[in-house]
Structure 1
Amino acid sequence: MSRVGKMPVAVPQGVDVSISADQISVKGAQGTLVRARHPLVTIENNAGSLSFVPVNESVEANAMSGTMRALVNNMINGVSKGFEKKLNLVGVGFRAQAAGQKLNLQIGFSHPVVKEMPAGIKVECPTQTEVLIKGADRQVVGQLAAEVRAFRPPEPYKGKGIRYSDEKVTLKETKKK
């Protein structure tokens, strides 16, 4: 059995988990998340902890038990604490501004770039060169951060662009004559 799938998931106080025949729903302070259940995994609720058991001994069922456990654990963490990604803008004149559900970026193009945020996602700009993307769904937060970074990824010679706060950009040496 999968090492990850063997570990039970503890359900904290204030988080409500409901398991139906085809989906699992997690409700907490940050919102509600719903995910489809995989048919090869049986989910058991044992008084405050969830366990994930493969239906049979196949390799796919074993792998999916660990995957479902990780996904449900992320759902529980998301509705209780939430997830966030921090981006930094590096470059002269690069600015970000959060206006409601829109993120306005001035990143060296002739026009400002506007990114619309989906429901359940909050965007903040503590300073003009920092962007904080927060939400309950880990996958959506990470995907949005990747899409914002893709507007202007860091270039290898001066390091200008949008980067994650913990990202290390290795600069190349310029061509010598």
Structure 2
Amino acid sequence: MRDLPRQSGSFAASLDWGHLSEIGQAVGALLSGAALVGVVVSLRLQRRQTQVAAFEALRNVRMQLLQFAIEKPKFLRLWGYGMPPEEDAQETAYISMIFAYLKMAFALRVLTENELVGFCRVFVDPAMVAFWERARENYLNDPFSRESRRFAQIVEREYRRIGRVSPVKETASPQSGP
């Protein structure tokens, strides 16, 4: 190959190769930083998915244990159901399972806020009201996630709006004159 003659006014001679090298290094550093951010975001998402999977597995075990106890009511007292004499332990355990399901569905964004609000019409039922009155502190102070706390706040709001209003109001009988 023959050598090309160098011209003093050529394009290659006019470039500041040191400056171009610095620009290339800066671009490389930015790309490396963006890749690192991508890895961090990916790891956080994986951690969250792992937490949700672990929570779901734990919730499934709880549901299986409660289902067993519902089928064999003598075990419900071991879960704390049926303690007050008037409480229907099987019904209360079942209501607990409903709320656990709704909480998880809301946290996973399978259940919308509007659907949850619609469900809360059940607060006209005395058993649902009684359950929420006993369990609401646990739900409202749930450390699991922001979604779980939001679930409890929505249910509490609807409870206050609907649940405290008796479905059937008793009217006072008119008293006879003095």
Q: TM-score, normalised by structure 1?
A: 0.25
Q: Which has the higher strand share?
A: 1
Of Structure 1 and Structure 2, the greater helix share is in 2
Higher relative contact order (CA 8 A, sep 6+): 1
TM-score normalized with structure 2 length: 0.25
| Greater radius of gyration (CA) | 2
